Amino acid sequence: MHILSFAIRTSLAGRLTTWYTGTSILLLTAATGLLYWALISELNRDGDLFFTDKVNVIRTILREQPRDREALREEVQLESAARTYDQFYIRLLDERGDVVMETPRMGQQLNSASFPDASPGPPFHGLSTTNKTGIPFGVLSTRVPVGNAGNVLWTMQIAVNRTQQRELLARYRHWLWSIWACAFVFCPLLGYRIATRGTRPLQRIGETARRISSQTLNERIDPAGYPVELATLAQVFNAMLDRLEDSFARLSQFSADLAHELRTPVNNIRGEAEVALARARSVDDYREVLGSCLEEAARLSQLISDLLFLARSENPGEHLRPQELPVLTIFSTVHDYFEANAAQQGVDLVIECDPALHAEVDRQLIQRAVGNLVANALAHSKRGGIVTLQASQDNGTLHVRVLDTGTGIPAEDLPRVFDRFYRVDRSRSPGSGGAGLGLAIVKGIVTLHHGTVSMKSNVSDGTSVTIRLPLVSRHRTGDMQEGLQNAIAR
Ligand code: ATP
Ligand code: MG
């Protein structure tokens, strides 16, 4: 019993079986109970019709031919005596209560005291009783007028043997119990079979999930032939595996790239030191080697601090020191920082920003993000190109955009440029750019600010990166003119 209740609580098939069995037996009980009740009602109705019929016949005879004893005998004695099933008995009592006529042997079955008081009717409703030997009867008693005057009233007692009816009901009940017992045995078996068949796809999903490890992330469930609900589950499961596989691939790529990025400066330092130590050198030579080693060490330390920053930026809410400031201030600081560089490259660095636009941001971080975007834009712009810092607002969102007219990014690389260490130039030669962390850092900073970042690029037109942040709108119209003039002046 304990094991059974444990199985019902823990197994889905057990629960489904219990529900199925319970519901089936409940429905069966209700249906058979209803049929049994309907059968009893039908039998009673038949019995009442019979009573009404007999009373009407006797009434007619007594009213129209009160002296015709033959007709009465025919009805009261002969007809009932000729009956084998559902034997009935009629007794007529005169106004003093003396028996005028009765069906033979009626006195042995039921005396006149066994009948109820005369009921008015029609319609007539017989009552149930049993005689002293235990035979069941339907009984009725009513007054019948004798002659047309209607002042003489006899009593008519009528009884129907209901043994046949009782046996019929007993047989019916027997059948019901048999059906009920079969249902009690077969419903759980059938229910269990249905439940295990229905949950088989779930088991298959479970088996697949159990088989999956980092080496077998390519496994998928084939939802063909599954019911809709489980096919959806299988598709959701497959989609989750797609994401896991992708994340895993990115993580592996990240580890490989990290190793590569760390190895290059370390190898350089080591190589230069080995070459320097191979023979005696001048102080200037040693100075040059040390300078070069320092450069590599600085690169290494920059890489490590970038990685640490990225790791920290994954803890939302941390390291943020938000302050409300005009977007133009951020742009100006970045502009000042890159101005000389841009001029040297022959690239125009332009600001287009409404000075009324304010943002609530961590100034250092946002400057770093915008700075990374400008650094990328400058790195991929040709002489004569334009790099624009643009800000606008739309539906409570601040859009900070860095546009360039540079080389652009091929469409197939776009979805991955925000990944750590991802560079369009896969050769990863040290001369061809940074470590590939700049955009990942931008994304980290924007996420910390509850914003989003996206990139559009086209190999012919250049690139535009948009940062979307929740807006702090302060329209200081007085400042606006001055700001616009500033913007145009740049
Ligand atoms: P880091 O920023 O770490 O010094 P990086 O600039 O190579 O290195 P990201 O800033 O993450 O790395 O950029 C990733 C890649 O996306 C770059 O290598 C470059 O190929 C491409 N890219 C980014 N911005 C632009 C741009 N404005 N125009 C063309 N290509 C770009
Ligand atoms: Mg960069």
**pLDDT bucket at 477, cuts 50 / 70 / 90:** very low
Q: What is the pLDDT of residue 313?
A: 80
Listed as own residue / partner, the contacts of 231-235 with beta carbons closer than 8 Å and 24 or more positions apart are 233/202, 233/205, 234/201, 234/205
Report the share of the chain in percent with pLDDT over 70.
Answer: 91
**180-194, 225-239, 322-336, 469-483: range with lowest mean pLDDT:** 469-483
pLDDT digits (tens, 9 = 90+) for 319-350: 678 899 999 999 999 999 999 999 999 999 99
**131-145, 208-222, 441-455: range with lowest mean pLDDT:** 208-222
What is the four-CA torsion angle of 354, 357, 361, 367, rounded to 10 degrees? 0
Mean pLDDT of the chain: 86
Report the share of the chain in percent with pLDDT over 90.
Answer: 43
Contact predicate 49/208, CB 8 Å: no
Q: What is the C-alpha separation between 291 and 309, in angstroms, rounded?
A: 27
Give me the mean pLDDT over the 100-108 stretch.
Answer: 85
Q: What is the pLDDT of residue 30?
A: 94
**pLDDT bucket at 149, cuts 50 / 70 / 90:** confident
What is the four-CA torsion angle of 90, 95, 99, 102, rounded to 10 degrees? -20
pLDDT digits (tens, 9 = 90+) for 54-77: 888 888 888 888 777 888 888 777
**pLDDT bucket at 178, cuts 50 / 70 / 90:** very high
Q: What is the pLDDT of residue 325?
A: 92
**33-42, 278-287, 340-349, 477-486: range with lowest mean pLDDT:** 477-486
Q: Which of 376, 381, 429 to mutate to test the pocket of ligand 1 (most atoms within 8 A of CB)?
A: 376
Q: What is the pLDDT of residue 317?
A: 59
Q: What is the pLDDT of residue 172?
A: 93
Ligand 1 neighbours, Cβ below 6 Å, are: 372, 376-377, 380, 404, 406-409, 417, 422-425, 433-440, 463
Contact predicate 334/370, CB 8 Å: yes
Which listed ligand is nearest to 444 at the C-alpha? 1
Q: Which of 306, 439, 455, 465 to mutate to test the pocket of ligand 1 (most atoms within 8 A of CB)?
A: 439
Q: What is the pLDDT of residue 339?
A: 95
- What is the number of the ligand 1 atom nearest to the C-alpha of 402? 27
Q: What is the pLDDT of residue 427?
A: 61
